[in-house]
Amino acid sequence: MDNRHRWRTIDIVIASVIAVAFGVIFWAWNTVWGVTEAAFAFFPPAQTLLYGVWLLPAVLGGLIIRKPGASLYTEAVAAIVSALLGSAWGATVIPQGLVQGLGAELAFAVLFYRSWKLPAALLAGAMTGVTAALFDFFVWNAKYALWDYRVPYALLTVVSGALLAGLGGWVLVKALAPTGVLDRFGPGRERALI
């Protein structure tokens, strides 16, 4: 592994901070998910438009840390924190987080961990949505009708991943970079070059 892919202590610390913060956000988002169910009673799969919030740390961790394993690490640790705080779905969110993190990780790997622009973020968000949808397809949604529920649910999860996690993660990184908090990472160094 070359030096640009070697994790520094600060990479581990910041990835962990992102993960813990999102683990708490997940815990709160579980409540939002529960109270919005009635609003989507007209077409229950549409609720997955809110799903991307659960996918955000995978994209955000990859965009900031920019090293192999960052997406997987941040999403998995966020899922563990969520489970420890009392997720409504129990410990099943831990393997779910691993699968979700793998989606963004695959997207960044396909780009050889060299592209961090908006298209890369959208791809990572969409791929995280794909892996999340696959997990849910077989674990949570196996009892539902294929074409009336599971397929639309999967497609909308990918859309939510691309928009909320991909675009949202990219916008969040762009908003944080000028503050100086990312100066020891790629986004901060890029800002310094402008």
Task: Answer whether residue 1 shows pLDDT above 70.
Answer: no
Q: For residues 175 and 168, what is the distance between their CA atoms, to the nearest angstrom?
A: 10
What does DSSP assign to residue 100?
Answer: H
Measure the CA–CA gap between 139 and 145, rounded to whole angstroms: 14
Question: What is the model's pLDDT at position 194?
Answer: 44
Of residues 104, 122, 120, 106, the one with CA closest to residue 166: 122
Domain of 135, in residue numbers: 3-193
Quick: pLDDT tens for 142-189: 999 999 999 999 999 999 999 999 999 999 999 999 999 999 998 988
State the helix-helix crossing angle for 70-85 and 9-36, rounded to 10 degrees: 50
Is the pLDDT at 10 greater than 70? The verdict is yes
- Residue 4: count of CB within 10 angstroms of its CB: 10
Identity of the residue numbered 49: L
Token duo for residue 105: 């990780």
Q: What is the count of structural domains for the chain? A: 1
Helix (H) / strand (E) element for 188: namely: helix 186-193
- pLDDT tens, residue by residue, 66-77: 999 999 999 999
Residue 190 has a pLDDT of 82
Provide the CATH number for the domain around residue 78. Answer: 1.10.1760
